[in-house]
């Protein structure tokens, strides 16, 4: 076995150790913390590079390179619970991406968090997150994956609520945690079910794993409720986890609020890596998802499995709706957040329609340019003294040129500007696959509309932020101050926005370079990436017209945005948006995110209220009624006695109430509130039980 | 019915009776110690060496001491001059006797008990350790957790909080 | 020759048993194992008391007993006969029992103290093939029987209806319970690495020499730490200075046996010393290679001699400590047990595990384990010493 | 009467004694002592069944007793802590003075 496979665990272990050391080290040890975190990440990157080369060496013969290392974890009852890690192209690619982007963002955060007094805590959490994420990536056992998955969720919670003293952050953290829990419940159920069905949680175990052929054959044969194959049901449950984690409809609500966290966190966790974990999960269990009876039978042109169809639809809808919402947002980070949601939708769609390679390709490219965009926005926010509202920005082009250039590259990549930017190629792959999808064409249309909107809102954002004239006076400089600890020294800044230090700009430049170059790994004419992930799909035939089409769409979006927002710049901060003038109602709808949150509030609260009312009803009428009944009977009895008193002589009356009193006494004897009497009763009950066991059997 | 068994049984039972019938709590606890010792001896008779020693270590070394401490801390170390029996103790005795009757009946009537005595099983410490570390590792962890929780809980319950202490 | 000398007592016993009918043999063999044991350690007790008094005397720059010899003769053993009149005095003295005392318990307490202490000797391998009963769970037996001592202490303290006695008993029980934990934990390291609770196995595991040095556990990092902790805990378990709060004369007259006199008092005294010997013997068995010789060229010396030599050496160490260190305060005692000993013992447990798993890595495991012990030791010490400014105290009313 | 039945009867008697103690005495600590006795009776049962049972090499009874001893220790600790707390509250450990549940 390749040594790197054996020592793959080092990659997540390094950040974990770093996190531990940072956690016990004192607050003021900033240098130590930063160097530990970045060092571990860098080392992890080197290791994952080796892993990548190891996989690169020999793939092609007998499918693709895959080596696993499994070991017994703990034994309960008769059977062992096994954990393990796997090294295959999927893992290698993710490892490279996570460690590389991660280390860049770590470096960036040195500059961004420089003034924060909880610097070390921040890096501790970051490293912990990295450990969890890498654990998810290398896991060969759904259990290990789930553990790391939850670790990732926890760190995400910690980091969103990093500035816990501001209520919005705390609320957002809670929201993110709870919303993702809903998904994780599904994942847990799926895991348990999978274990019950296949008897193992290892993905690949030399033929015995739950993703390998015979297990799949066994599972797909039997059907769960409503006649769907068990694999499909499990797949859907697992997909629920993915939905929660990577913010698909209808669980996307937490992701935009997650932007309350420090911006590097948003870049690392809520744009590049963690939210992609959902996509990765689906890619990891893809065999489980795609398997159907006739795919096993061998005819490839059967309908895709239900699970994949669901994935596709959810992805497509998410891609479109999130894009529409993004059009109407004003917070620079929220726009990016919604675009993240929509891009994740694209990835899911890509997985659904085109398989692992296409989805993963978009995941990788997106990771780079979205990290770039977030860091850019971070540097913008940093430059504008913690403003996030794009209406108060503008004209930053001349203040921060480097940021502007890199940001523009990222924006073009995201918008899918033809030929030179990675986003174009990956998105085009997805659209192409969607076009060829056998079930329906709607995902394709939704995707195109999404692409148009993407180009549009990104142009709007760039236009509002970087062009025109600077609109943020000090009138609003304390607008978010107090919100984070940096606001203490905003006064130290000049009121003019300023370019960020090199430690922040250099990562931007590197990422920008990647955002451009990565695309050429996956062009239809040279599909190195897809080939590497072991998917040799059809030739470039029929791609060109599509490409031209999408190019046109992109240009339309760009042009529209430019015409609406750059040509006639808004003068002041608080004049209404152009679209708002045209159709205020729709705009309001979009700005309020289709009232998703409100809807949830309503439904959830309504549910609870109803339940409470139900309990109240039971309490008031059923139990209460019983009591009333008893009391009524008592009253009736007393009436009876009164009657007897009236008609019978006092003797009978005395006898009657004496009887009642004795009865009452007798009953209250049972309630002496003495432990020992209860114990006696228990003893008697024991006797009865024994007698029953002795004789009841014979009878 | 080896004589050793009879002696141990006698000691155990007598001390147990003493443990619940002395007026003075300390005497009760001390005779409880004797009961524990007798039980440990019975375990040894049953070839359960490890459990026997563990019994002594835990019950005599820890539980009895705990009880003694509780007695002293609740100032009930002196012989009470009021009634020590709960009201209605006769009923209690009756219930106990009935329970014993039922149990004895069940024991004597059951055919499940095999007449033949199997060879003395051997449970070396090594076997027990292996079992604990492999087959029963999960219960072991749970027990550890439980003990920790119980310790913390006991501390918190018995801790005199300042409002109360004044 | 050497062999026979070493096995002298064993062979003697077998030879004696040879004369007896089958039926009697088990009983007699038990008696023949027990009686010499009790006699030898009883005598040791008598001698050690004198040694202690003389040693303390020297340490405190005075003579100590140096007159008494064998009574009714004019042989003077430089005071080593002292124990004889002491013993006689103890036996013929009036046995005073307070009127309020709980007679039965008051009478039983010394007995209950002595019996378990004597029982513990059953599992001590005091020489090659010289273990009375070689239980499969020997060490556990030692500790479990030793636990009964606390009961006797309580009985003594409570039954004599005397607040000093009760205080002493409470202190004693608290102290014993607190120090039993590090004691057992430090013993567990050995048990863990030997993989057996059998004392003879533990001794056998320390046989042989490497590079002229014996394979005793005390010569490994974890073993050394464990041995030191074991010694400290043993001091506390046997109520020796500096842990002699239960019988702190200056505060509690004599702690839980304040109200005892005459023979019962002697029994307490005996019980305490025998308990000390027993626990030291266990320490030797666990860490100092039991009855094995320290050097290859000394292996011809009989095994029981080695055991006794080590025993006496540690006893003298205890006397030395008693003569040197001042008594701790109750809170210091407790915090030392719970805040320092127990954490260190737990860490030592982990270190022993590391040692086991790094087997075969040569010098590396020495370095790693040593560091793993030294680091926490320093940190813990620092942590406990914080906000404790040691230095010259100024007393308000002195001078 | 087989040996096993002897042990079983012994443990039954022990159980009964414990029950009687727990029922008839007023003092809470004594109730606890009674409960300890009952627990020990159960342990004795387990050991006896392990010794005379069909397959003793499974060690099941032993394991159960080991665990139950551990749990009994915890139970004693918590119970006595409760008693101490109760004493602090009622200034008494007499069970028949703690009858707030009286109906």
A675 chain-D contacts, CB cut-off 8 A = 31, 95, 98
d(CA D75, CA D55): 30
CA distance B133 to chain A (A): 9
- Tokens representing C326 are 């001042």
Q: How far is CA A420 from CA A192, A376, A423, in A?
A: 46, 20, 9
Compute how many other C-beta atoms are within 10 angstroms of the C-beta atom of residue A380.
Answer: 26
- Residues sharing a CB contact under 8 Å with residue A376, sequence separation 6 or more, in sequence order: A403, A406, A407, A410, A508
Q: How far is CA C192 from CA A292, A436, B126, C120, C280, in A?
A: 54, 66, 11, 21, 20
pLDDT score at C229: 92
Lowest mean pLDDT among A480-494, C181-195, C374-388: A480-494
pLDDT score at B76: 72
- Residues sharing a CB contact under 8 Å with residue B55, sequence separation 6 or more, in sequence order: B36, B39, B40, B43, C144, D43, D69
A694 chain-B contacts, CB cut-off 8 A = 102, 105-106, 109-110
Residue pair A127/A37 in contact by the 8 Å Cβ criterion: yes
DSSP state, residue A173: H
Residue pair A465/A390 in contact by the 8 Å Cβ criterion: yes
* Predicted confidence (pLDDT) per residue in C305-341, tens digit: 888 999 999 999 998 998 888 888 888 888 888 888 8
d(CA A360, CA A367): 10
Chain A residue closest in CA terms to D20: A680
Together in a domain, C83 and C138: no
pLDDT score at A424: 82
Together in a domain, C67 and C145: no
Residue C384 has pLDDT above 80, yes or no: no
Whether C and D touch, i.e. at least 3 CB pairs below 8 A, reads as no
Together in a domain, C212 and C108: yes
Together in a domain, C229 and C319: yes
Lowest mean pLDDT among C76-80, C114-118, C259-263: C76-80
- Residues sharing a CB contact under 8 Å with residue A582, sequence separation 6 or more, in sequence order: none
- Chain D residues with at least one Cβ partner in A under 8 Å: 19, 22-24, 31, 95-96, 98-103
pLDDT score at D41: 92
CA distance D86 to chain A (A): 14
Residue C362: inside a domain? no
- Tokens representing C191 are 């048990």
Over residues C261-289, mean pLDDT = 89
C3 alpha carbon, distance to own chain's centre: 30
- Residues sharing a CB contact under 8 Å with residue A666, sequence separation 6 or more, in sequence order: none
Question: Which residues pair with residue A389 across a beta bridge?
Answer: A331
For testing contact with chain A, the best of B84, B86, B95 (most A CBs within 10 A): B95
Helix (H) or strand (E) holding A297: helix A293-297
Mean pLDDT of chain C: 84
Percent of chain C with pLDDT over 90: 11
Residue C91 has pLDDT above 90, yes or no: no
End position of a domain, from candidates C327, C343, C365: C327
- Tokens representing C96 are 């005073």
ipTM (interface predicted TM): 0.68
- Tell me the pairing of strands A522-523 and A526-527: antiparallel
Q: Using a CB–CB cutoff of 8 Å, tell me whether D78 touches chain B.
A: yes
Chain A residue closest in CA terms to D96: A674
Torsion of CA B142, B147, B151, B153, to 10 degrees: 40
Nearest Cα residue to C226 out of C101, C110, C341, C147: C341
d(CA A512, CA A421): 10
Together in a domain, C51 and C156: no
d(CA A314, CA B109): 67
Compute how many other C-beta atoms are within 10 angstroms of the C-beta atom of residue C23.
Answer: 8
Residue pair A374/A480 in contact by the 8 Å Cβ criterion: no
pLDDT score at C281: 92
**Burial B132-151, CB ≥16 within 10 A → b, else e:** beebbeebbeebeebeeebe
Residue C398 has pLDDT above 60, yes or no: no
Say if the Cβ atoms of D102 and A671 lie within 8 Å: yes
Together in a domain, C53 and C146: no
Subunits next to B (3 or more Cβ pairs <8 Å) are A, C, D
- Residues sharing a CB contact under 8 Å with residue C297, sequence separation 6 or more, in sequence order: none
Chain position carrying tokens 């005294």: C269
pLDDT score at B36: 92
Q: Does residue A250 have a cis bond before it (omega within 30 degrees)?
A: yes
Say if the Cβ atoms of C140 and B50 lie within 8 Å: yes
Chain A residue closest in CA terms to B104: A690
Chain position carrying tokens 């109430």: A657
- Residues sharing a CB contact under 8 Å with residue A297, sequence separation 6 or more, in sequence order: none
What HEC string does A381-431 produce? HHHCCCCCEHHHCCCHHHHCHHHHHHHHHHHHHHHCCCCCCHHHHHHHHHH
Say if the Cβ atoms of C105 and B27 lie within 8 Å: yes
Chain D residue closest in CA terms to B69: D80
CA distance B166 to chain D (A): 13
pLDDT score at A474: 47
d(CA A477, CA D33): 72
CA distance B26 to chain C (A): 9
A77 chain-B contacts, CB cut-off 8 A = 135, 138
Whether D and A touch, i.e. at least 3 CB pairs below 8 A, reads as yes
For testing contact with chain B, the best of A72, A73, A75 (most B CBs within 10 A): A75
C87 alpha carbon, distance to own chain's centre: 22
CA atoms within 13 A on the CB side of A407: 26
Say if the Cβ atoms of A680 and B102 lie within 8 Å: no
CATH code assigned to D3-96: 1.10.287.3510
Residue B22 has pLDDT above 90, yes or no: no
Nearest to A694 among B99, B105, B135 (CB): B105
d(CA A517, CA C124): 77
What HEC string does chain C produce? CHHHHHCHHHHHHHHHHHCCCHHHHHHHHHHHHHHHHHHHHHHHHHHHHHHHHHHHHHHCCCCCCCCCCCCCCCCCCCCCCCHHHHHHHHHHCCCCCCCCCCHHHHHHHHHHHHHHHHHHHHHCCCCCCCCCCCCCCHHHHHHHHHCHHHHHHHHHHHHCCCHHHHHHHHHHHHHHHHHHHHHHHHHHHHHHHHCCCCHHHHHHHCCCEECCEECCHHHCHHHHHHHHHHHHHHHHHCCCCCCCHHHCHHHHCCHHHCCCCHHHHHHHHHHHHHHHHHHHHHHHHHHCCCCCCCCHHHCCCCHHHHHHHHHHHHHHHHHHHHHHCCCCCHHHHHHHHHHHHHHHHHHHHHHHHHHHHCCCCCHHHHHHHHHHHHHHHHHHHHHHHCCCCCCCCCCCCCC
d(CA C174, CA D25): 29
- Which phi and psi (to 5°) does residue C274 adopt? -60, -40
Nearest to B28 among D20, D33, D85 (CB): D33
End position of a domain, from candidates C274, C294, C327: C327
Chain A residue closest in CA terms to D98: A674
pLDDT score at C313: 92
Together in a domain, C253 and C141: yes
B103 chain-D contacts, CB cut-off 8 A = 12, 15-16
pLDDT-derived band at B162, boundaries 50, 70, 90:
low
Q: Which residues in chain A come in under a pLDDT of 50?
A: 60-61, 474-494, 539
Q: What angle do CA C271, C273, C276 make, to 5 degrees?
A: 110
Residue pair A503/A108 in contact by the 8 Å Cβ criterion: yes
Which domain does C199 fall in, by range? 98-327
pLDDT score at A472: 64
Residue C183: inside a domain? yes
Subunits next to D (3 or more Cβ pairs <8 Å) are A, B
Helix (H) or strand (E) holding D66: helix D60-90
End position of a domain, from candidates C283, C311, C327: C327
CA atoms within 13 A on the CB side of A493: 22
Q: Using a CB–CB cutoff of 8 Å, tell me whether B113 touches chain A.
A: no
Number of separate domains in chain C: 2
Residue C285: inside a domain? yes
> Is D42 in a helix, a strand, or coil?
helix
- Tokens representing C84 are 């004889």
* Maximum mean pLDDT: which of A619-623, C76-80, C206-210, C281-285: C281-285
Say if the Cβ atoms of B54 and C140 lie within 8 Å: yes
Residue C236: inside a domain? yes
d(CA A75, CA A56): 36
- Residues sharing a CB contact under 8 Å with residue A225, sequence separation 6 or more, in sequence order: A233
d(CA A298, CA A284): 22
Residue C391: inside a domain? no
D99 chain-A contacts, CB cut-off 8 A = 672-674
Say if the Cβ atoms of D96 and A671 lie within 8 Å: no
Nearest Cα residue to A68 out of A81, A86, A52, A50: A86
Nearest to C105 among B30, B57, B62 (CB): B30
Subunits next to A (3 or more Cβ pairs <8 Å) are B, D
* Predicted confidence (pLDDT) per residue in A437-452, tens digit: 777 888 888 888 888 8
Together in a domain, C321 and C275: yes
Q: Using a CB–CB cutoff of 8 Å, tell me whether A680 touches chain D.
A: yes
Nearest Cα residue to A349 out of A408, A290, A421, A430: A430
Nearest to D19 among A673, A675, A683 (CB): A683
Residue B115 has pLDDT above 70, yes or no: no
Together in a domain, C170 and C136: yes
DSSP character string of A133-168:
HHHHHHB-BHHHHHHHHHHHHHHHHHHHGGGTTSHH
d(CA D75, CA D84): 14
Q: How far is CA B29 from CA A423, C32, D42, in A?
A: 80, 36, 20
Say if the Cβ atoms of A676 and D99 lie within 8 Å: no
Would you state the CATH architecture of domain B1-76? Up-down Bundle (1.20)
Nearest Cα residue to C114 out of C268, C279, C278, C255: C268
Together in a domain, C199 and C315: yes
Listed by start position, the domains of chain D span 3-96
Over residues D81-87, mean pLDDT = 84
d(CA A273, CA A104): 13
CA atoms within 13 A on the CB side of B122: 4
Say if the Cβ atoms of B95 and A684 lie within 8 Å: yes
Nearest Cα residue to B80 out of D24, D94, C373: D94
Together in a domain, C12 and C144: no
């Amino acid at each position: 076995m390749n040594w790197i496979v054996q020592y793959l665990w080092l990659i997540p272990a390094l950040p974990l150790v770093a996190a531990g050391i940072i956690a016990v080290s004192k607050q003021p040890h900033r240098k130590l913390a930063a160097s530990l975190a970045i060092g571990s990440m860098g080392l992890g990157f080197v290791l994952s590079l080796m892993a990548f080369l190891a996989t690169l060496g020999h793939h092609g013969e007998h499918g693709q390179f895959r080596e696993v290392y499994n070991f017994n974890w703990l034994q309960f009852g008769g059977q062992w619970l096994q954990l393990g890690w796997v090294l295959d192209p999927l893992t290698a690619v993710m490892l490279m991406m996570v460690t590389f982007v991660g280390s860049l963002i770590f470096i960036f955060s040195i500059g961004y968090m420089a003034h924060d007094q909880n610097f070390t805590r921040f890096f501790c959490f970051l490293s912990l997150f990295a450990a969890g994420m890498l654990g998810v990536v290398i896991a060969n056992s759904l259990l290990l994956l789930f553990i790391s998955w939850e670790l990732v969720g926890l760190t995400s919670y910690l980091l969103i609520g990093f500035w816990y003293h501001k209520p919005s952050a705390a609320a957002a953290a809670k929201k993110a945690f709870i919303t993702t829990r809903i998904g994780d419940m599904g994942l847990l159920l799926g895991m348990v079910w999978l274990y019950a069905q296949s008897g193992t949680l290892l993905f690949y175990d030399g033929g015995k794993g739950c993703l390998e052929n015979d297990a799949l054959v066994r599972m797909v044969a039997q059907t769960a409720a409503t006649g769907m194959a068990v694999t499909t049901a499990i797949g859907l449950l697992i997909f629920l986890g993915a939905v929660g984690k990577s913010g698909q409809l209808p669980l996307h609500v937490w992701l935009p609020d997650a932007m309350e966290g420090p911006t590097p966190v948003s870049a690392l966790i809520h744009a590049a890596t963690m939210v992609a974990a959902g996509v990765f999960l689906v890619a990891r269990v893809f065999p489980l998802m795609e398997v159907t009876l006739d795919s096993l039978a061998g005819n490839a042109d059967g309908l895709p499995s239900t699970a994949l169809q669901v994935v596709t639809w959810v992805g497509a809808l998410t891609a479109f709706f999130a894009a529409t919402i993004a059009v109407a947002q004003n917070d620079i980070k929220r726009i990016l957040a919604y675009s993240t949601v929509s891009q994740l939708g694209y990835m899911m769609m890509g997985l659904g329609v085109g398989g692992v390679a296409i989805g993963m390709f978009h995941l990788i490219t997106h990771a780079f340019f979205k990290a770039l965009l977030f860091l850019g926005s971070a540097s913008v926010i940093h430059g504008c003294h913690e403003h996030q509202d794009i209406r108060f920005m503008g004209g930053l082009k001349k203040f921060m040129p480097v940021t502007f250039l890199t940001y523009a590259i990222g924006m073009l990549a995201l918008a899918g500007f033809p030929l030179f930017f990675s986003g174009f190629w990956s998105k085009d792959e997805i659209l192409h696959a969607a076009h060829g999808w056998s079930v329906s064409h709607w995902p394709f249309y939704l995707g195109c509309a999404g692409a148009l909107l993407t180009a549009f809102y990104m142009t709007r954002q760039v236009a509002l932020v970087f062009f025109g004239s600077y609109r943020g006076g000090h009138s609003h400089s304390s607008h978010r101050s107090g919100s984070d600890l940096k606001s203490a020294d905003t006064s130290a800044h000049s009121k003019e926005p300023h370019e960020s230090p090199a430690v922040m700009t250099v990562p931007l430049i590197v990422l920008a370079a990647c955002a451009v170059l990565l695309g050429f790994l996956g062009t239809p004419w040279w599909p190195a990436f897809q080939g590497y992930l072991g998917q040799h799909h059809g030739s470039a035939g029929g791609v060109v017209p599509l490409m031209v089409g999408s190019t046109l769409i992109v240009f339309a979006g760009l042009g529209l945005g430019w015409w609406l927002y750059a040509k006639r710049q808004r003068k002041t901060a608080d004049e209404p948006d152009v679209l708002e003038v045209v159709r205020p109602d729709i705009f309001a709808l979009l700005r309020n995110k289709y009232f998703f949150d409100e809807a949830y509030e309503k439904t959830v609260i309504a549910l609870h209220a109803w339940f409470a009312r139900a309990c109240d009803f039971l309490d008031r009428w059923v139990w209460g009624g019983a009591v009333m009944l008893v009391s009524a009977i008592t009253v009736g009895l007393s009436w009876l006695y009164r009657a007897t008193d009236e008609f019978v002589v006092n003797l009978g009356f005395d006898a009657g109430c004496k009887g009642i009193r004795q009865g009452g006494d007798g009953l209250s004897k049972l309630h002496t509130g003495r432990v020992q009497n209860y114990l006696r009763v228990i003893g008697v009950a024991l006797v009865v039980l024994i007698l029953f066991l002795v004789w009841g059997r014979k009878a | 019915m080896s004589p050793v068994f009879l002696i141990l049984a006698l000691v155990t039972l007598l001390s147990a009776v003493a443990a619940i019938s002395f007026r003075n709590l300390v005497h009760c606890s001390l005779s409880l110690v004797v009961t524990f010792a007798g039980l440990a001896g019975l375990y040894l008779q049953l070839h359960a060496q490890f459990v026997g020693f563990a019994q002594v270590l835990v019950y005599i070394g820890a539980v009895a001491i705990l009880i003694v401490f509780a007695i002293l801390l609740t100032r009930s170390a002196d012989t009470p001059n009021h009634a020590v029996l709960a009201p209605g103790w006769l009923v209690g005795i009756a219930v106990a006797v009935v329970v014993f009757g039922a149990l004895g009946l069940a024991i004597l009537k059951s055919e499940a008990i095999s007449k033949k005595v199997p060879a003395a099983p051997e449970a070396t410490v090594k076997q027990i350790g292996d079992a604990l570390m492999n087959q029963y590792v999960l219960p072991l962890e749970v027990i550890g957790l439980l003990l920790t929780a119980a310790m913390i809980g006991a501390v918190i319950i018995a801790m005199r909080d300042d409002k109360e202490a004044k | 020759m050497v062999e026979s000398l070493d096995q002298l007592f064993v062979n003697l016993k077998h030879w004696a048993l040879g004369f007896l009918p089958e039926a009697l043999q088990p009983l007699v063999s038990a008696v023949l194992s027990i009686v010499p044991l009790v006699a030898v350690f009883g005598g040791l007790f008598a001698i050690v008391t004198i040694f202690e008094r003389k040693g303390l005397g020297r340490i405190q720059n005075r003579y100590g007993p140096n007159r008494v010899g064998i009574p009714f003769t004019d042989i003077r053993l430089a005071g080593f006969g002292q124990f004889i009149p002491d013993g006689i005095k103890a036996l013929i003295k009036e046995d005073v029992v307070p009127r309020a005392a709980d007679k039965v318990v008051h009478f039983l307490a010394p007995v209950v103290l002595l019996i378990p202490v004597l029982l513990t000797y059953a599992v001590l391998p005091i020489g090659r093939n010289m273990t009375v009963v070689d239980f499969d769970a020997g060490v556990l037996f030692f500790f479990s029987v030793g636990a009964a001592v606390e009961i006797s202490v309580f009985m003594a303290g409570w039954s004599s209806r005397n607040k000093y006695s009760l205080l002493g008993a409470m202190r004693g029980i608290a102290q014993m319970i607190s120090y039993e934990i590090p004691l057992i934990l430090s013993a567990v390291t050995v048990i863990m690495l030997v993989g057996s609770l059998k004392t003879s196995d533990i001794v056998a595991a320390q046989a042989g020499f490497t590079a002229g040095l014996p394979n005793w556990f005390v010569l490994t990092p974890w073993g050394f730490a464990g041995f030191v902790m074991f010694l400290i805990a043993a001091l506390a378990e046997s109520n020796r200075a500096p842990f002699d709060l239960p019988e702190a004369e200056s505060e509690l007259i004599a702690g839980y046996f304040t109200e005892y006199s005459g023979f019962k008092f002697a029994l307490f005294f005996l019980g305490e010393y025998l308990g000390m010997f027993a626990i030291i013997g266990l320490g030797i068995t666990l860490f100092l290679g039991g009855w094995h010789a320290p050097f290859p060229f000394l292996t011809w010396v009989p095994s029981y001699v080695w055991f006794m030599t080590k025993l006496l050496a540690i006893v003298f160490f205890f006397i030395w400590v008693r003569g040197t260190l001042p008594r701790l305060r109750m809170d210091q005692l407790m915090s030392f047990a719970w805040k320092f000993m127990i954490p260190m013992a737990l860490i030592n447990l982990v270190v022993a595990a590391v040692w086991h798993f790094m087997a075969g890595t040569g010098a590396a495991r020495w370095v790693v384990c040593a560091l793993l012990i030294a680091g926490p030791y320093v940190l813990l010490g620092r942590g406990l010493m914080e906000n404790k400014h040691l230095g010259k105290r100024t007393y308000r009313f002195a001078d | 009467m087989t040996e096993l039945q002897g042990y079983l009867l012994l443990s039954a008697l022990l159980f009964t004694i414990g029950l009687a103690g727990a029922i008839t005495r007023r003092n809470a600590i004594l109730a606890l002592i009674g409960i300890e006795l009952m627990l020990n009776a159960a342990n004795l049962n387990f050991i006896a069944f392990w010794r005379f049972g069909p397959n003793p090499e499974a060690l099941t009874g032993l394991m159960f007793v080991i665990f139950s001893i551990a749990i009994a220790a915890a139970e004693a600790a918590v119970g006595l802590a409760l008693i101490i707390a109760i004493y602090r509250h009622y200034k008494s450990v007499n069970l028949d003075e703690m009858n707030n549940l009286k109906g």
